[in-house]
Structure 1
Amino acid sequence: MPIIDLTREDHSYFIGLFQTDGHLESGKGQKGKATIELAGVDIDLLMRLPQLFEGVRSSVSTRTRTTNFSSDYTSATWRICNLAFRRELESCGVPPGRKSNQVAPPVGPFHQRGYFRGLLDGDGSVGFTRTGAPFVGFVTASSSLADFFCSTVRTVSGALRTPKRNTRDDVFSLIVANDPAARLAEWAYPPGCFALDRKRLAAESVAAWRRPPGMRARPLLGKRSWSAEEDAIALSSTVKEAARVLGRTESAVVIRRWRLRHADGTDA
């Protein structure tokens, strides 16, 4: 049986987190290791990772060192050496060594919301600007991840973002604010989800934001509305069949089904 099941939300979350904050190292022969290093304050998440892959031995350690920003920076590292697990990581889109420009969403079926949340926990930001505007941001060097972020943002919130590298760092710095950010945060961080506690709490505050009276709403560009007939097809057909019939992407169908069921108070 496979160790990693990308149809599971928490496993897809793990892949998104690993692609942004993890490192896969291949040594001589079959030697190697997979690690995720986070700030010490986030050690609780790393301590919960073993429950995702029962029967596969892993460990968590901490270290304190001097960095450019602190003389006593403490980090926590989750480590696993299992060869079968490392091979599955590669098949899920995690190349050994430097990966910032190469990583891309998994090729096969995966849980889009979990994967998206993993990317945000790794290289994203959720919170409020100094003026009190809610936002969700994501920074990446991968054009594939930038496209995925923008596609998901458009499907979930209706906001159109065009990925473009900045001239200073040659990376994509993407952000949505106000109403689209609130909708995106609510979708990406449902109650009880597997996530960094600090970002989950920030997402709850962003999701609860409401536009102040008199604040003008910006029009959402490129949004294609759903009709009652399309909703019925999305709910009654498989994702693949609904996407084919409606001329939409499978990810759009998945998110629409979630929003409809969430609105009805049923499980997503």
Structure 2
Amino acid sequence: MTFFDLERPKHAYMFAFLQADGHLRQGPGNKGTLSVGLSARDAPILEEFQRLCPLHNSIRYRTRSTNFKAEHTSVVWTVSAREFREDVQALGLPAGRKSAIIAPPIIPFDGASMAANRER
């Protein structure tokens, strides 16, 4: 099953965002998660991702002290569904550290949408 049509602007943007700021963790067996953590002020981005994802997913908030701020609130969007994780992996999002190996997908995608969102 494919959850992404990268020729649709919102899907292309979400996948590029996951490549940049997401983390795909593989656990033993079929366990694992895809997650994105941002500052709470950017919660609308993750809320839109939640609407686009057809499977069970969650958004949670966390407030804690950091080196930069006494009380920082962040938001994390998480998807645990194996089918969704397999789909993003098939498109080229690797599990674990990705900084040296991330690349554009090898299937057609809406690059104009990605560029327009990057310039904002």
TM-score (normalised: structure 2)? 0.92
Aligned residues: 120
Task: Indicate the residue corresponding to 1:26 in structure 2.
Answer: 26
Written as runs of structure 1 = structure 2, the 5 A alignment for 1:150-229 is 185=119, 203=120
> Could you tell me whether the CA contact under 8 Å between 2:50 and 2:77 is conserved in 1?
no
User: CA separation of 1:87/1:59 partners in 2, compared to 1, >3 Å: closer, same or farther?
Assistant: same
Report the secondary structure of 1:6's partner residue.
coil
Q: Which has the higher contact order (CA 8 A, sep 6+)?
A: 2
Q: Is contact 1:14–1:115 with CA below 8 Å preserved after alignment? A: no
Q: RMSD value over aligned CA atoms?
A: 1.4
Deviations 1:17-46 (A, max 9, x none): 111111000000000000011101011121
Q: How far, CA to CA, are the matches of 1:104 and 1:113 in structure 2? A: 17
Structure 2 partner of 1:89? 88
Aligned 1:22-101 pairs, distance under 5 A? 22-54=22-54, 56-101=55-100
- The unaligned stretches of length 5 or more in structure 1 are 121-184, 186-202, 204-268
Amino acid across the alignment from 1:108: I
Identity %: 35
Distance 1:85 1:11, change over 3 A: same
Q: What is the CA-CA distance between 1:100 and the residue it aligns to?
A: 1.3
- Decide whether the 8 Å contact of 1:3 with 1:53 is kept in 2: yes
SS at match of 2:24: strand
Once the two structures are superposed, residues 166-214 of structure 1 have per-residue CA deviations (whole angstroms, 9 ceiling, x without a partner) of: xxxxxxxxxxxxxxxxxxx4xxxxxxxxxxxxxxxxx4xxxxxxxxxxx
Cα pair 1:9 1:114 within 8 Å, conserved: yes
The alpha-carbon deviation at position 117 of structure 1 amounts to: 4.9
The structure that is helix-richer by fraction is 1
User: Contact 1:34–1:79 at 8 Å: present in 2 too?
Assistant: yes
Tell me the SS of whatever aligns to 1:5. coil
Between structure 1 and structure 2, the one with the greater Rg is: 1
AA partner of residue 12 (structure 2): S
Alpha-carbon distance in 2 for matches of 1:103, 1:116: 17
SS at match of 2:19: helix
Q: 1:12, 1:34 → 2: CA distance? A: 17
Larger strand proportion of the pair: 2
Equivalent residue of 2:25, what SS? Answer: strand
Report if aligned partners of 1:34, 1:86 keep a CA contact under 8 Å in 2.
Answer: yes
SS in structure 2 at match of 1:13: helix
Structure 2 unaligned residues grouped into runs of 5+: none
